[in-house]
Amino acid sequence: MRYLVDTGVWLRAFDKTDRHHGDVTLALKKLREQGHSFRIAPQIAAEFWCVCTRPSSSRGGYGLPPSGAAYRLAFIERQAEMIAEPESTYAAWKQLVAELKISGVKVHDARLAAIIVCAKLDGIVTLNPGDFRRFSEIAVVEPSMVVASGN
């Protein structure tokens, strides 16, 4: 299966002090060993850069210089194929937010869901499964569940 990997998963893969680090790194390894492949979208790359370079004194920021963010993003680009956002994404996103009455920060999750559907990916690897369960056509994979499965 081809999975989009959510921003939070990539962030935790680099942060050895984060409680999700072990599950994230092991789950990505196991999924790859099972023949699954990973994708990244420009939105995820931008979110990743934003959090990496946000001051550590700010909400969730890592305080890295741009060169540190670039180094980490280059690593991600070796692990996951960058996909172009299909032209149909905007229309699909607009339909999702209208039909499901999505508002606030959840509109960003709906955009990722639209990208997954329009790019014909199978699902998303995320630490926030509840953000994506409303999109029934998308497989939602939580790293801790991959680790717990023992496969």
Distance between CA atoms of residues 21 and 27, nearest Å: 10
Q: How do residues 41-57 score in pLDDT, each as one tens digit?
A: 999 999 999 999 999 99
- Whole-number pLDDT of residue 60: 87
Dist CA 57 CA 26 (whole Å):
29
In this prediction, residue 81 carries a pLDDT of 97
Q: Which of 88, 108, 80, 85 is nearest to 2 (CA)?
A: 80
Greatest distance between any 2 Cα atoms in the chain:
41
Predicted confidence at residue 32, as pLDDT, reads 97
pTM value is 0.94
Confidence of residue 151 (pLDDT cuts 50, 70, 90): low
Is the predicted pLDDT of residue 102 greater than 70, yes or no? yes
Cα(78)–Cα(48) distance, integer angstroms: 15
Q: What pLDDT digit, counting tens, does each position of 23-32 carry?
A: 999 999 999 9
74 falls in which pLDDT band (50, 70, 90)?
very high
Q: Does domain 2-149 have CATH number 3.40.50.12160?
A: no
pLDDT of residue 14: 97
pLDDT-based confidence at residue 59 (cuts at 50, 70, 90): confident
High-pLDDT (> 90) share of the chain, %: 95
- Stretch 95-124: mean pLDDT: 96
| In the chain, where the domains are located | 2-149
Mean pLDDT of 91-116: 96
What are the CA-CA distances from residue 27 to residues 9, 107, 140 (Å)?
Answer: 10, 27, 13
Is residue 67 within 8 A of residue 49, CB to CB? The reply is: no
Q: What is the DSSP string of 12-76?
A: HHH-TTSTTHHHHHHHHHHHHHTT-EEEE-HHHHHHHHHHHHS-TTSTT-----HHHHHHHHHHH
The number of beta carbons lying within 10 Å of the beta carbon of residue 122 is 16
Alpha carbon distance 76, 26 (integer Å): 15
